[in-house]
């Protein structure tokens, strides 16, 4: 059985006024909220249990999820959502996860064909080699198919060649180490750390993170109104 975690706790301030009363995961897109597309894709891929991390406008998210039938959803809270980031949200979900799991950012819309590329042995990150790498992009450096560095800023010795789109498959062996590193980073004061900071520490310690190349597939991380307009142009008929 494959589980998934969706991180949907943040404000979405760049999408106001659409997020004045809802998290950005609930912004309508092609007939349903953004998170609805992810849940449909997970169900189609055989995922039957999803942990969703809520924070901002929690009640609206819970109300929407309560009307869905599948996959089965458990909502957990990040009570510090206003002062933390995706690493803290991931650790809020961790006690509910066992074995391998998929990890998704809650502001993504993507072709359903993306997920099968991730459901394979090992820990894998979905990457796109075709996107221009701007300051917001989570950049990836590779050695063959193995990820050697990941983050918004890479060390000078690494040349970024792709973007990590915000979907990962974490295997059971890596999950425990990931949580341990994440807790240490938070305890050291990295409240605003993204989960990629923990990924990078594990990679430097020898953990294998493979690339799942989804170049050519449609996907959008919806951070602002321009992103939303692009997503609408790509997925309105989906």
Q: What would the pLDDT profile of 98-151 be if each residue is shown by its tens digit?
A: 899 999 999 999 999 999 989 889 999 999 999 889 888 999 999 999 999 999
For the chain, which ranges sit under pLDDT 70? 237-238
Q: What is the mean pLDDT of the chain?
A: 93
Instruction: Say how many CA atoms lie within 13 Å of 201 toward its Cβ.
Output: 16
Rounded Cα distance, 162 and 233, in Å: 23
Per the document, the length of the chain is 238
> How many angstroms separate the first and last alpha carbons of the chain?
27
Is 72 in a helix, a strand, or coil? strand
| Helix/strand/coil for 113 | helix
Burial class (CB in 10 A: 0-12, 13-18, 19+), 95: exposed
Judged on CB neighbours under 10 Å (0-12, 13-18, 19+), 135 is exposed
pLDDT score, position 238? 46
Cα 118 from chain centre:
13
Looking at residue 47, its pLDDT comes to 94
User: Do 99 and 212 touch, CB atoms closer than 8 A?
Assistant: no
């Amino acid at each position: 059985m494959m589980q998934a975690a969706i991180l949907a706790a943040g404000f979405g301030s760049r999408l106001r006024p659409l997020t004045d009363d809802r998290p950005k995961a609930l912004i309508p897109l092609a007939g349903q909220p953004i998170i609805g597309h992810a849940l449909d894709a997970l169900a189609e891929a055989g995922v039957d249990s999803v942990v969703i991390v809520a924070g901002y406008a929690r009640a609206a998210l819970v109300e929407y999820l309560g009307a869905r039938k599948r996959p089965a959803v458990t909502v957990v809270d990040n009570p510090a959502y206003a002062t933390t980031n995706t690493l803290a949200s991931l650790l809020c979900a961790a006690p509910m996860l066992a074995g391998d799991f998929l990890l998704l950012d809650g502001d993504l819309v993507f072709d359903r064909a993306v997920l099968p590329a991730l459901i394979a042995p090992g820990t894998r990150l979905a990457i796109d080699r075709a996107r221009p790498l701007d300051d917001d992009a989570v950049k990836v450096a590779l050695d063959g198919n193995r990820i050697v560095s990941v983050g918004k800023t890479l060390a000078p010795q690494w040349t970024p060649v792709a973007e990590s789109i915000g979907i990962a498959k974490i295997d059971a062996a890596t999950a425990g180490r990931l949580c341990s590193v994440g807790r240490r980073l938070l305890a050291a004061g990295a409240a605003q750390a993204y989960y990629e900071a923990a990924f990078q520490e594990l990679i430097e310690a020898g953990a294998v993170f493979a690339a799942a190349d989804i170049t050519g597939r449609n996907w959008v991380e919806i951070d602002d109104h321009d992103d939303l307009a692009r997503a609408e142009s790509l997925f309105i008929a989906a």
